[in-house]
Amino acid sequence: MKKTFIALLLVLSFSAVRSQNADSLWTREHYYKIERMIPMRDGAKLFTAFYIPKDSSERHPILFNRTPYTCYPYGEDQFNPRLYMTYWLNYLKKGYIIAIQDVRGKWMSEGDFVDVRPFNPDKKGKEIDEASDTYDAIDWMVNHIPGNNNRVGVMGISYPGFYSTMAALSGHPALKAVSPQAPVTDWFQGDDFHHNGAFFIMDGFGFYSGFGKPRPKPTKEWSQGYRIPSQDNYDFYLKTGALKNFSKIMGDSIAFWKDLYAHPDYDDWWKARNPRNFVTNVKPAVLVVGGLFDAEDCFGAWSLYKAIETKSGKTDNRLVMGPWVHGGWGGRGDGSFLGNVRFGDKTSEYYQQNIEIPFFEYHLRSNGGVQDIAEANIYFSGENKWRKLDQWPPKNVTYKKLILHANGKLSFENEQGPNAYYEYISDPAHPVPYTEDVHLGRTTEYMTDDQRFASRRTDVLSFTTDILDQDISLGGPLVADLMASLSTTDADFVVKLIDVFPDEFQYDETVSGKGNGKDYPMGGYQMLVRGEIMRGKYRNSFEKPIPFVPGKVSEVKYTLPDVAHTFKKGHRIMIQVQSSWFPLADRNPQKFTNIYQCDDSDFQKSTIRIHFGKNNQTSFTLPVIQ
């Protein structure tokens, strides 16, 4: 049996390689590549690679991707394997011109790189930003690239999603459609490196120790990041200690790392780097795409869509959210599972063929057909189905309070009993891990991980409803409203929404998307649906933090990123509350201070109380679809 299985793997691998080789050969037979340095208005030139159809019988749309992650491979005889190894091959088969550009100051482009460079709505003369660079690049393309039809689309995932948003603000008349995907939107409130003011140290340190290194002149070489001398991230980040110790390791050469430390609060420096503040009068059609379980930029997709709806109401603005990790719809698997959780459907392929490609086809061709994409295309985990909606959140949402009661119970009924509290001790020397496993890199699956490991800790409070007698579907933001008191002057609060599976639950083995859960005990599984952290001192204002008064009950109310999930009949809803999520987020010393400058000696235990009862009612507002 084992030999048969190995033989089957060899056949499948050979078939995959043969298919890729055939696609590579087809691409070279039908496309040629040129590389150009495109001049910007201030004189800097940006390196751009073009893959152009050899067919000259018709004019072709341009699909443009701006990236800080390289146009690799360099050389006009070298083709990017992404073109023929991912669904991008569909665009080639349809005759698109593909343009990929190193952004200003990265790789082979000239100029100085600035992280999330602020948009300047009042540019004059030779002043530049990422929107003007996009405008100048598009203007050059439509006037110099042979066979183009004067229609351009821009798309990108993650940081290139930020550049896609900037493209939407460029105002070039040839730009007809933009798709910011998992877009970097707000690096203080919810994307990548901060969530509600808490610093996501593992992602920030791991990323910037390499990406942030200065590049004095154009290069084709990648900068190696810091090599962590361990295979256990929990152990490494705990032993390294306070944030100032990470700053010592990082050194003085990485400008944005120093900026992070210099701006601990949500000041004007951060606000200038939030594209949501500027999305007014957006001209091109927009397709915002994100993953329900995107560990990096889940916040960005939901928030950018809502900002455009609010500030640019006439824009053709649409939303897609699928059951994906960061960029999971773009070639990283078929989207049929995540970790132990199965979805059954090949959700990534569905998105590619039924949403993204038709979106660009419609807007980038004069005869693009009928626009048949819903306003909001949302995949609901739990029920494992796409829903096509005419708005988001849906019209039929009712916001219901799930209220904390005695004996660890949650109910939609009011608590009329006497004031009481649950209590735990938060110890920075033993923070709650974000996942059960021992590993080095941050996992992509943690956002659906089994939370039973956390339920067993004394510093995690777990509250559950009774077994549900009917399905409950949630569609929209979750609001945590904690009535809390501390023995210290600061603390973090992590709230997790969890789907508790029935004890006898097991997946149908005939369903596709087996993932890691094939042999995992799914009975009683506690699936993380949404989790988010709040740095307590920002509970009233991100701009002006305030300390807690020890022993005094304070309201800590904050909004978690939207959810789209159905809790099935026979399941239970669980809420967990804790005060660390390590090393995903940095540790709070639990003392009101500038955490970026504090010492190891500043970290202290805190007794946390979560209050409930008639006068101090802790609740969680759920967006229930009727």
Work out the end-to-end distance of the chain between its first and last CA atoms, rounded to an integer number of angstroms.
51
pLDDT digits (tens, 9 = 90+) for 27-36: 999 999 999 9
510 has a pLDDT exceeding 80:
no
13 has a pLDDT exceeding 90:
no
Domains belonging to the chain, first-starting first, are: 26-188+278-389 (3.40.50.1820), 397-625 (2.60.120.260)
Phi-psi region of 132 (alpha: psi -120 to 50; beta: other; left: phi over 0): alpha
Give the tokens for residue 16. 């995959």
Percentage of the chain beyond pLDDT 90 is 91
pLDDT bucket at 516, cuts 50 / 70 / 90: low
3-state SS assignment for residue 533: strand
Q: Going by C-beta distance under 8 Å and a sequence separation of 6 or more, which residues neighbour residue 490?
A: 535, 536, 537, 547, 548, 588, 589, 590, 591, 592, 593
Q: Which residue has the higher pLDDT, 515 or 236?
A: 236
**Number of C-alpha atoms within 13 angstroms, CB side, residue 625?**
20
213 has a pLDDT exceeding 80:
yes
How far, rounded to the nearest angstrom, does the alpha carbon of residue 580 sit from its chain's CA centroid? 20
The model's pTM is 0.95
Q: Provide mean pLDDT across the span 158-181.
A: 98
Q: Provide mean pLDDT across the span 582-601.
A: 98
Predicted confidence at residue 416, as pLDDT, reads 79
Percentage of the chain beyond pLDDT 70 is 95
How far, rounded to the nearest angstrom, does the alpha carbon of residue 83 sit from its chain's CA centroid? 24
Q: Could you give the CA distance from residue 586 to residue 530 in angstroms, rounded to a whole number? A: 19
What phi, psi does 528 have (nearest 5°)? -70, 120
* Signed CA dihedral, 223, 228, 231, 236: sign only: negative
pLDDT bucket at 288, cuts 50 / 70 / 90: very high
How far is the CA of 304 from the CAs of 169, 208, 557, in angstroms?
Answer: 13, 24, 22
How far is the CA of 534 from the CAs of 422, 430, 481, in angstroms?
Answer: 19, 19, 11
Strand order from edge to edge, sheet including 175-181: 31-39, 45-53, 97-102, 60-67, 148-157, 175-181, 285-291, 317-322, 376-380, 385-389
Angle at 412 between CA 406 and CA 417, to 5 degrees: 35
User: Rg for the chain (alpha carbons), in Å?
Assistant: 25
Interhelix angle 243-250/201-211, nearest 10 degrees: 10
Q: Of 110-114, 514-518, 596-600, which gets the smallest average pLDDT?
A: 514-518
- B/e letters for 168-202, b = 16+ CB within 10 Å, e = fewer, are bbbebebbbbbbbbbbbbbbbbbbbbbbbbbbbbb
Predicted confidence at residue 409, as pLDDT, reads 97
3 has a pLDDT exceeding 80:
no
3-state SS assignment for residue 115: coil
pLDDT bucket at 2, cuts 50 / 70 / 90: very low
332 has a pLDDT exceeding 60:
yes
pLDDT digits (tens, 9 = 90+) for 126-145: 999 999 999 999 999 999 99
pLDDT digits (tens, 9 = 90+) for 68-120: 999 999 999 999 999 999 999 999 999 999 999 999 999 999 999 999 999 99
What phi, psi does 619 have (nearest 5°)? -145, 165
Q: Could you give the CA distance from residue 259 to residue 187 in angstroms, rounded to a whole number? A: 12
